Amino acid sequence: MPYRSLMAATALAVALVMTFAQAQAFDDSKYPDLKGQWIRARVPGVVGQPAYDPSKNQGAPQQAPLKPEFKAIWEANVKDQAAGGQGGDPTYGCLAPGMPRIMTPYGEMEIVVTPETTHILIEHIHDSRRIFTDGRDWPKDYIDPTFQGYSIGKWSDTDGDGRFDTLEVETRYFKGPRAFDATGIPLHPDNQSVIKERIHWNKSDPDTLTNEITTIDNALTHPWTVNKKYVRQKIAQPDWFEEVCTEDNSHVGIAGEVYYLSADGRLMPAKKDQPPPDLRYFKQPQK
One domain, residues 125 and 228:
yes
Instruction: Of 14-18, 27-31, 44-48, give the lowest mean pLDDT range.
Output: 14-18
Structural contact between residues 41 and 208, judged by C-beta atoms closer than 8 angstroms: yes
Residue 55 lies in a domain: yes
Q: What is the pLDDT of residues 188-241, one digit of tens each?
A: 999 999 999 999 999 999 999 999 999 999 999 999 999 999 999 999 899 888
Residues 278, 162, single domain; the answer is: no
pLDDT at 217: 98
Are 73 and 144 members of one domain?
yes
The model's pTM is 0.85
Q: Which of 232, 260, 275 is the last residue of a domain?
A: 232
Number of structural domains found in the chain: 2
285/225 same-domain check: no
> 161 and 278: one domain?
no
Based on the fold, state whether residues 134 and 164 are members of the same structural domain. Answer: yes
pLDDT at 8: 52
Instruction: Tell me the average pLDDT across 252-257.
Output: 87
Indicate whether 168 and 258 sit together in one domain: no
Residue 266, domain extent: 250-287
| Band of residue 7 on the pLDDT scale cut at 50, 70, 90 | low
Determine, yes or no, domain membership for 28: no
**Is 3 within a domain?**
no
In a domain, residue 12? The reply is no
Give yes or no: residues 180 and 143 share one domain. yes
Asked, for residue 143, whether it belongs to a domain, the answer is yes
Mean pLDDT of 161-174: 96
How would residue 45 be classed by pLDDT, with cut points 50, 70 and 90? confident
pLDDT over 70 at 9, yes or no: no
- Residue 13: pLDDT above 70? no
Q: What is the pLDDT of residue 23?
A: 47
Asked if the structure places residue 102 within a domain, the reply is yes
Residues 228 and 46: their CA atoms lie apart, in Å, by: 13
Q: Are residues 283 and 186 in the same domain?
A: no
Which alpha helices (H) appear in 83-165, and where do they start and end?
Answer: none
Buried (b) or exposed (e) across 238-268, using 16+ Cβ within 10 A? eeeeeeeeeeeeeebeeeebbbeeeeeeeee
pLDDT at 10: 55
Domain assignment present for residue 45? The answer is yes
Confidence of residue 129 (pLDDT cuts 50, 70, 90): very high
Residues 190 and 115 in one domain: yes
At 285 the pLDDT is 77
Residue 44: pLDDT above 80? yes
Distance CA 63, CA 59 (A): 8
**Does residue 261 register a pLDDT over 80?**
yes
Q: Is residue 196 part of a domain?
A: yes
Residue 246: what pLDDT? 83
**What mean pLDDT comes out for the span 127-153?**
95
4 has a pLDDT exceeding 80? no
Look at 156 and 17; give whichever has higher pLDDT.
156
| More confident: 43 or 131 | 131
**The pLDDT value given to residue 14:** 52
DSSP labels for 4-52? HHHHHHHHHHHHHHHHHHHHHH--GGGS----S-EEEPP-TT--SSPPS
SS3 category, 171: strand
Integer Rg of the chain from CA? 23
What's the whole-number mean pLDDT along residues 170-184? 96
The answer on 269 and 178 residing in a single domain is no
- Could you tell me if 217 and 261 lie in one domain? no
- The pLDDT assigned to 138 comes to 96
Helix (H) or strand (E) holding 213: strand 208-216
- Kindly report which listed range (169-183, 195-209, 234-248, 258-272) carries the lowest average pLDDT score: 234-248
Q: Which residue among 232, 259, 279 closes a domain?
A: 232
Under DSSP, is residue 119 helix (H, G, I), strand (E, B) or coil? Answer: strand
